[in-house]
Amino acid sequence: MAVTLTSHHRMPHAAGIGLRLPHLAEVTATLPAVGWLEIHPENFLANPHAAELLIELSHHYPISVHTVGISIGSVEGIDKAHLTRLRALVDAVEPVLVSGHLAWSTHEGAYLNDLLPLPYDEATLRLLAEHLDRVQDGLGRPYIVENPSSYVALATSTMTELEFLNELVHRTGCQLLCDVSNVYLSGHNMGYDPYPFIDGLPAGAIAELHLGGFTPEEDEASPGSEQQLYVDTHATPITEPVWALYAHALRRFGSAPTIIEWDSDIPALATLLGEVARADAVGAEVRQEPQQQHHAHAH
Ligand SMILES: [Fe+2]
């Protein structure tokens, strides 16, 4: 039977990979058994050959477009020319989802020093709602917002990150991409328990989950201290505490489709497929648990 999808709008039932350029040729040639693929459109905009392969792949897999060049938190506004270029690619690929970070910086990987967060307050909510409108109009599709990896709390914030995300969903009707690794590492960096954070997210608004690796680094703000910062590098395997938190997220959110992200020190495709298999195995285990566990908050 042909594996070709008859509809581009079929949602995946299995985990997928963040497809990066080093694996593009191999994935096109071998069509590995993953539920879906997520791409960064910015990798394809100036690369017509890669874009051609991507469009070919879109006939075999549901595609998720995860933008890294749009910054809905940027006070400078949204780059219209970039939106127009993205729209053309998105129209060609017909993704099942389009998403992006709740980011303040416009450069992916420019974390920590360059990523100066905006305060979680009324003015930022209004700015984000306005930018979200503009992005959704420009792309002609809903734009799903991902929770950030956090390193510092701003004294001027009037609400917590959790309250802020809930309010953003409430006001704009947007859906969320819950990066489970970001919840885990932000909890470590900011000193909160990631489990009640997951419990406090609006479950009905969760459209996708992310899993990725992080790197413990010395905290530059307090050199010599024992306390390490967990940095969202996407350069390592997913750790056991994140797998456990992922199971908890699946109990709470149901079967949200999951993507494994690995963006630097990119391993062999087989390694990524192993992480996908683990995510699917965790999902299968959770589905077999008695239902009452799905609402238990114990961990
Ligand atoms: Fe992510």
Expressed in angstroms and rounded, the spacing between residue 98 Cα and the centre of ligand 1 is 13
Dump pLDDT digits (tens) for 25-41. Answer: 999 999 999 999 999 99
Secondary structure of residue 3 in the 3-state scheme = coil
When the pLDDT of each residue in the chain is averaged and rounded to a whole number, the result is 89
| Portion of the chain with pLDDT greater than 70, in percent | 89
Q: What is the mean pLDDT of residues 215-239?
A: 86
Q: Is 156 exposed, middle or buried (0-12, 13-18, 19+ CB in 10 A)?
A: exposed
Cα–Cα distance, 86 to 104 (Å, whole number): 19
More confident residue, 257 or 291: 257
Instruction: Give the Å distance between the CA of 101 and the centre of ligand 1.
Output: 7
pLDDT higher than 70, residue 142: yes
CA of 16 to the centre of ligand 1 (A): 13
**102 C-beta neighbours (distance < 10 Å), count:** 23
Kindly tell me if the per-residue pLDDT of 116 is higher than 70. no
User: Cα of 2 to ligand 1 centre, how many Å?
Assistant: 32
Q: How far apart are CA 15 and CA 210, in angstroms?
A: 10
Please say if the pLDDT value at position 211 is more than 90: yes
Å from CA of 244 to ligand 1 middle: 17
Does 113 have pLDDT greater than 50? no
Q: Which residue has the higher pLDDT, 172 or 1?
A: 172
pLDDT reported for residue 2: 37
| Mean pLDDT along residues 167-196 | 96
Q: Give the confidence band of 110 by pLDDT, cuts at 50, 70, 90.
A: very low
- Higher confidence at residue 215 or residue 296? 215
Q: For the residues 216-231, what does the mean pLDDT come to?
A: 81
**What pLDDT does residue 177 have?**
98
State residue 260 phi and psi, 5-degree precision: -90, 125
> How many angstroms separate the alpha carbon of residue 66 from the centre of ligand 1?
9
Closest to 184 (Cα-Cα) out of 243, 227, 121, 134: 243
User: With contact defined as beta carbons under 8 Å apart, do 179 and 149 qualify?
Assistant: yes
CA of 161 to the centre of ligand 1 (A): 16
Q: What is the pLDDT of residues 248-269, one digit of tens each?
A: 999 999 888 999 999 999 999 9
What is the Å distance from ligand 1's center to 293 Cα? Answer: 27
Read off the pLDDT band of 114 (50, 70, 90).
very low
Could you tell me the CA-to-CA distances from 93 to 4, 33, 170, 258 in Å, in that order?
Answer: 14, 20, 30, 19
* More confident call, 68 vs 58: 58
Average pLDDT over residues 102-129: 71
Q: Is the pTM of this model over 0.85?
A: yes
Q: Ligand 1 center to residue 110 CA distance, Å?
A: 14
**Lookup result for tokens 């967060």:** 117
CA distances for 33 relative to 15, 36, 55, 191, 260, angstroms: 10, 9, 18, 39, 14
pLDDT at position 105: 58
Q: What is the CA(75)–ligand 1 centre distance, in A?
A: 22
Q: In the prediction, which pLDDT does 227 show? A: 81
Share of the chain above pLDDT 90, in %: 72
The alpha carbon of residue 66 and the mean position of all alpha carbons in its chain are separated, in whole angstroms, by 7
Going from the Cα of 162 to the center of ligand 1, the distance in angstroms, rounded, reads 17
Query: Ligand 1 mean position to 178 CA, how many Å?
Result: 8
Residue 4 scores a pLDDT above 70: no
Which structural domains are found in the chain, ordered by start?
16-288 (3.20.20.150)
- Per-residue confidence at 115, pLDDT binned at 50, 70, 90? low
Ligand 1 centroid vs 179 CA: distance in angstroms? 5
Q: Cα of 235 to ligand 1 centre, how many Å?
A: 12
Instruction: Give distance in angstroms: CA of 260 to centre of ligand 1.
Output: 9
